[in-house]
Amino acid sequence: MERNATILIVDDEEQGRTLLERLLNKLDCNLAFAGTGSEALAQAAKLIPDLILLDVMLPDMNGYEVCAQLRADPLLAEVPIVMLTALDDQKSRLKGIGVGADDFVSKPFDPAELKMRVQTITRLNRYRRLLAERAKFEWVVDHADHGYLMVNETGHITYANPKARLYLGLPADKDKPNDAHFLTLAQKQYHCRPKAAWATWLDLPQTAATRYLIRPEIPVSNAFWLQVNILNLPVGSETGKVIHLRDITERVNLQRETHSFHAMVSHKLRTPLVGVFNGLELVLEYARKLSNADMIRIGEIALQNVQRLRNQIDDIINYLHTSTLIKSNSSFNLSQLPLMVTKLSANLELESVTVLNRENLAGIHILLAKRTVELMLWEILENSKKFHPQQTPSVEIMISRANSRQVRLRVSDNGQRLSPEQLDQILTPYYQGDKYFTGEVTGMGLGLSMVAMVTWGAGGLCHIYNREDGPGVVVELTLPLAEDADTISTKQ
């Protein structure tokens, strides 16, 4: 029988308990005792035994009542119960079966028979528990976000959860037989890195070596990274290993973006500071020799660099606070858009910005706050100016209904066309045409990314493409209408 099984003996006679103790001690099990029904219930709840030997005749309640209460307890309902009784009639046995007893032993019992029954029942109960625990484990693993596999001593797969099957392209049906070799299968789809760690993945005992499966970037998909941990199966189980697959693509991309951000900040914020410092150094060193015109010119350059630095810091802050720009209780009346565009154009020193309406805008509200719309238009118009060869773009803003629940805002300019790579990356945070981070292109590459994130967060669409009728690009936003504008604030 299994070692360390716990058996609860319930008998009101000390002699009976002693007899059972002497008999069962030879089975190398843990024994507990109770002399009354209430004591038996308390002990059972505390120990959750592998078997209960329950006498029918007890002083406070009979064995049938104890058995019924045990079966009513969810934690004890599955514990095997063998009733010890001097009653040998069919009626008593049927009553015991009715309250949930698993077996009966008549007094006086045969020691060899009782010992054999105890061995069999505890073994079966332990097996049942193992099956139940395995079922729970498999449920958890099947619903895990990570991939888990078991391989035998030759590296062939004996089990794979749904996530692992997805990563390796195995059939989704886990009951389908599969004896594929893990590494051979992985190498068909991934690069195994580092090579040295993979060369001995199956031969060495469990190590802390970090291994990766990498699917390189191709024109139609980004790179995909899996971190692989290989663990030995517990002692006493079948030989082989457990393989843990974890998708770390997002983490790798975040590390790469963080590095790019550091490089961007290092150059973008330092470049205008250099202009400020140089100007101040000239003033301090040559103040008495410089003419008023030179002093004014140096001051203008320093001020331009300070303004540039402030704008780039504002870009970062606005991007980091994108989530606060989407407010479900705010809306903007599109009839205010022409006046807003006029003010923004004046601040940006744009002379040719036209708003074209295909229909009456009175009473049409979009589900964005006024400040949010203003900030989004500022970023779009600023980009039109920034990337026009002479910084003097002609911009047209067209407003039309997309459908009964959305409006389409299309902003087109006559600046430069974008390459396929630029169109693909234009909405990526920190991306801009200044690919070598010289710092000469103003801004942080966050403006259009912020516009897209706000639009998506509000349930709309953002699309940027080259004009078909000439040079320049089009920023097209499909924005949701406020369903009940009368109940929504328009003051923000």
Q: Are residues 195 and 257 in the same domain?
A: no
Question: What's the whole-number average pLDDT of the chain?
Answer: 79
The answer to whether position 1 is within a domain reads no
Q: Are residues 298 and 345 in the same domain?
A: no
**Which of 84, 112, 121 is CA-nearest to residue 7?**
121
Amino acid at 140: V
Distances in whole angstroms, Cα of residue 100 to Cα of each of 95, 118, 163, 219:
9, 17, 41, 66
What are the beta bridge partners of residue 67? none
Q: What is the pLDDT of residue 72?
A: 92
Q: Which residue has the tokens 């119960």?
A: 81
Lowest mean pLDDT among 83-87, 165-169, 210-214, 337-341: 83-87
The end-to-end CA distance of the chain, in Å, is 76
Q: Which residue has the higher pLDDT, 372 or 43?
A: 43
| CATH number for position 433 | 3.30.565.10
Residues 338, 343, 345, CA angle at the centre, nearest 5°? 90
Q: Could you say which of 247, 277, 301 is where a domain stops?
A: 247
Q: Which residue has the higher pLDDT, 90 or 324?
A: 90
- Residues 476, 464 contacting (CB under 8 angstroms): yes
Radius of gyration of the chain (CA): 38
Lowest mean pLDDT among 26-35, 177-186, 194-203, 326-335: 326-335
Q: Are residues 69 and 182 in the same domain?
A: no
The answer to whether position 39 is within a domain reads yes
Six-digit token string for 62: 């009979």
Q: What is the pLDDT of residue 352?
A: 93
Q: Are residues 219 and 274 in the same domain?
A: no
**Which of 145, 170, 146, 143 is CA-nearest to residue 158?**
170
The answer to whether position 492 is within a domain reads no
Q: What are 120-152's pLDDT values in tens digits?
A: 888 887 777 777 676 776 777 777 889 998 888
Q: Could you say which of 320, 350, 373 is where a domain stops?
A: 320
Q: Are residues 382 and 402 in the same domain?
A: yes
Q: Are residues 162 and 260 in the same domain?
A: no
What is the share, in percent, of the chain residues with pLDDT greater than 90?
19
Q: What is the pLDDT of residue 328?
A: 47
Per-residue pLDDT, averaged over 202-218, amounts to 71
> 429 pLDDT band (50/70/90 cuts)?
low
Q: Are residues 130 and 210 in the same domain?
A: no
Per-residue pLDDT, averaged over 463-480, amounts to 90
Amino acid at 7: I
Judged on CB neighbours under 10 Å (0-12, 13-18, 19+), 373 is buried
Q: What is the pLDDT of residue 475?
A: 92
Per-residue pLDDT, averaged over 247-259, amounts to 71
Q: What are 270-297's pLDDT values in tens digits?
A: 677 777 878 788 877 777 787 888 888 8
Q: Which residue has the higher pLDDT, 440 or 222?
A: 222
Lowest mean pLDDT among 329-343, 392-406, 432-446, 455-469: 432-446
| CATH number for position 234 | 3.30.450.20
Looking only at the bridges linking them, the beta strands covering 211-215 and 191-193 are: antiparallel
The answer to whether position 258 is within a domain reads yes
Q: Are residues 50 and 112 in the same domain?
A: yes
Q: Are residues 308 and 383 in the same domain?
A: no
Q: Are residues 282 and 409 in the same domain?
A: no
> 92 pLDDT band (50/70/90 cuts)?
confident
What global pTM score does this model have? 0.40
Q: How far apart are alpha carbons 35 and 55 in whole angstroms?
A: 9
Judged on CB neighbours under 10 Å (0-12, 13-18, 19+), 79 is buried
Q: Are residues 132 and 154 in the same domain?
A: no
Q: Could you say which of 247, 269, 290 is where a domain stops?
A: 247
- pLDDT score of 222 more than 80: no
Q: What is the pLDDT of residue 317?
A: 63
Distances in whole angstroms, Cα of residue 186 to Cα of each of 144, 166, 226, 246:
20, 12, 11, 14
| CATH number for position 295 | 1.10.287.130
Q: What is the domain count for the chain?
A: 4
Q: What are 386-408's pLDDT values in tens digits?
A: 888 898 999 999 999 888 889 99
Q: Are residues 205 and 241 in the same domain?
A: yes
| CATH number for position 35 | 3.40.50.2300
Domain coverage including residue 192: 145-247
